[in-house]
Amino acid sequence: MSLFFRVFSLILIAEMGDKTQFLMIAMASRYRIRDIVWGVIPAVLALNGIAIGLGMLLGGMLPAAWIGTVAGLAFLWFAYESLESEEETCSDARPDRGAAWTVFGTFFLAELGDKTQLTALTLAASEGELTAGTALAVFLGASAGLLLADALGLFAGYVLGKALPDSLFAAISFVIFAVFGIVKLLGGMEGLFASAERGKLFAIGGTALAGILLAALSLRRVLRKGREKHEGTEKSENRESLSVHRQQ
């Protein structure tokens, strides 16, 4: 139990203020809580299972540059999608079976190779010969610490979603996803172009191009939604005016 609580406290402290807590805040504006829960729990279990069971073997085999690039592009896409209104997102009351898988993939890519996964791997390795009991204690402690930290982020997102206007919360989510996307994409592309003579310049240019494209598409979506909202308001006013005129 002492090992469990030591791992739990270290992972919890390491995760506080980390990007996935802010990711939970952003996801709270996009998905139902139950979809987030069903996506995050298996992702956490899979991440810690890899870290403790096969982390050292897979760590040298996984193409980190491609993972970072894919994760960055995914975050930029979620930034664009976060601009949808609450009505557009939740117009269908039925559960979205693909949402949990989307959350799983996003969370998995965000945490793969992150400091919390490396912390779990280091703690497991530092115990000497890794017995079944030791591995289980590290696995449960790391999973519990990560889940609690991200549950706090999810709760903060839920509270903000109730307290803030939909448009402001969507803007906050957009910024969170966009910042993480740019950082992940830049790191991934630096790895892809590491062997090129001007690799860093190519990485910066590619990331900047993706950021400009995101800004242009997002501005177009915001302007279109504003125009549609204005037209809808005018139609509503015209119908009310016609109704009043008929009554008179």
- On the 0-12 / 13-18 / 19+ scale of CB atoms within 10 A, 171 is middle
At 212 the pLDDT is 95
At 217 the pLDDT is 92
pTM (2 d.p.): 0.58
Six token digits for residue 235? 């139609």
Q: Smallest Cα–Cα separation from 41: which of 189, 187, 186, 148?
A: 148
At 56 the pLDDT is 43
Measured torsion, CA atoms of residues 204, 210, 213, 217, in degrees rounded to the nearest 10: -140
Distance CA 207, CA 187 (A): 9
What residue segments make up the domains of the chain, in order of their start?
2-247
pLDDT block averages, 10 residues each, the chain of length 248:
77 70 77 85 83 53 69 79 56 56 80 66 57 76 85 82 72 80 88 85 93 92 80 67 62
* Residue 163: partners with Cβ closer than 8 Å, 6 or more residues away: none
Unique residue bearing structure tokens 């109704």: 243
At 55 the pLDDT is 43
